[in-house]
Amino acid sequence: MIRFSLVLSMCFLYILEAFVPNMYISFIFNMAAAAVFFTMVPLLDRKGRIFTLGLFSAGIFIHYAVGDRGLLLIEGITQNMALLAILILAPLLSIPLRREGIIDTVITYLNELKNSPAHTFYGISSFMLTLAPILNMGALRIVHGFVENIKIPSKLLSRSYYVGFTPAVIWSPFFASVGIVLFYLEITYLSYVAFGVVFAILQMAAGMILFRPAGAVETAAALEEETGDAAADKGRKKDLYTLAGFVLGLVLLLIVMEHVSHKSMLLLVSMVCFIVPAGWMVLRKQKRP
């Protein structure tokens, strides 16, 4: 719990410092980042600990060798905080989806399709395609955590994950790859998104063609028919629409925030990852995080 609190405090201070530049906030932020680093090192295995501390020691040597001094050493730990914050905070967006039972609805549907490799491939790919844009790497952890008990062959799972996950890397503002492009080209997400979506569609189509299971073409019609039958269940249909609306709503929210605040997309994504779960907890009067 102490590590968890430290990590969230570090991310919160990163956001606060961006809006309220202050020497004292910056100092506390740097100290929190250093504390997180050193509290996480003991969790590594022996090789990981040696590798990490070796790099850290090399960084200290280079820092002083080039003439830098003092707290600038600690500030080096926060250099990539924008990327780290997204990886840490994105999974928080799954809290409302889990608690509202939306993810459970999709998992139940996938469980019904497990006897058909083609249906399973399209179902998991679609599920991942929906979650990956907002949950980042957390989508892999979350989806696999739910479907591993369905006993799906690992080869089919890996192909489904690849097809569903990789298009998001190209267009989603919740990915560091997109944030870096926007940052270095100094463009807005709105001016980039059309190109990103086109290339994401091309990559998804290529993945579907290359990795679909044998017989997938013949069973595609049957999948559509089953999906239509499932949609007759109003509760399931509502959950699926809610999930799609949730993703679209977050993307639109980020576009508006970028236009109004003129802040980095990486920073805005981190803010949304805090605001959405917190807002849901307040509206739903949830006391447990």
- Residue-level pLDDT, tens digit, the chain, 289 residues: 788 889 989 999 999 988 888 888 888 998 899 899 999 999 999 999 999 999 989 988 888 888 877 767 777 778 788 778 877 887 788 888 888 888 777 777 777 777 788 888 888 888 888 888 877 776 777 777 667 767 778 888 889 899 999 998 998 887 878 888 888 888 888 889 889 999 999 999 998 888 888 655 444 445 445 545 544 466 677 777 888 888 888 888 888 888 888 887 778 888 888 888 888 888 888 776 5
21, HSE (Cβ side, Cα atoms, 13 Å): 0
Report pLDDT for 21. Answer: 85
Distance, CA of 173 to CA of 170 (rounded, Å): 9
All residues at 6 or more sequence positions from 72 whose CB lies less than 8 Å from its CB, including other chains = 63
Report pLDDT for 200. Answer: 92
In contact, 268 and 189? CB cutoff 8 Å: no
Report pLDDT for 149. Answer: 67
Report pLDDT for 232. Answer: 44
- Percentages helix, strand, coil for the chain (3-state, rounded to 5) are 85, 0, 15
Cβ count within 10 A of residue 61: 10
Distance, CA of 60 to CA of 272 (rounded, Å): 34
The number of residues in the chain equals: 289
Distance, CA of 283 to CA of 289 (rounded, Å): 13
Q: How far is CA 24 from the centre of its chain?
A: 31
User: Could you tell me the CA-to-CA distances from 172 to 65, 69, 255 in Å, in that order?
Assistant: 40, 39, 11
Report pLDDT for 41. Answer: 92
In contact, 111 and 149? CB cutoff 8 Å: no
Report pLDDT for 243. Answer: 81
Report pLDDT for 215. Answer: 58
Strands (E) in 109-220, as ranges, are none
Report pLDDT for 49. Answer: 94
pTM listed for this prediction:
0.69
User: Could you tell me the CA-to-CA distances from 198 to 202, 205, 282 in Å, in that order?
Assistant: 6, 11, 37
User: Could you tell me the CA-to-CA distances from 258 to 152, 190, 277 in Å, in that order?
Assistant: 41, 9, 20
Reading the block at residue 195, the tokens are 């190109």
For residue 136, is it left (φ>0), alpha (ψ between -120 and 50) or beta? Answer: left
Nearest CA to 107 among 84, 130, 90?
130
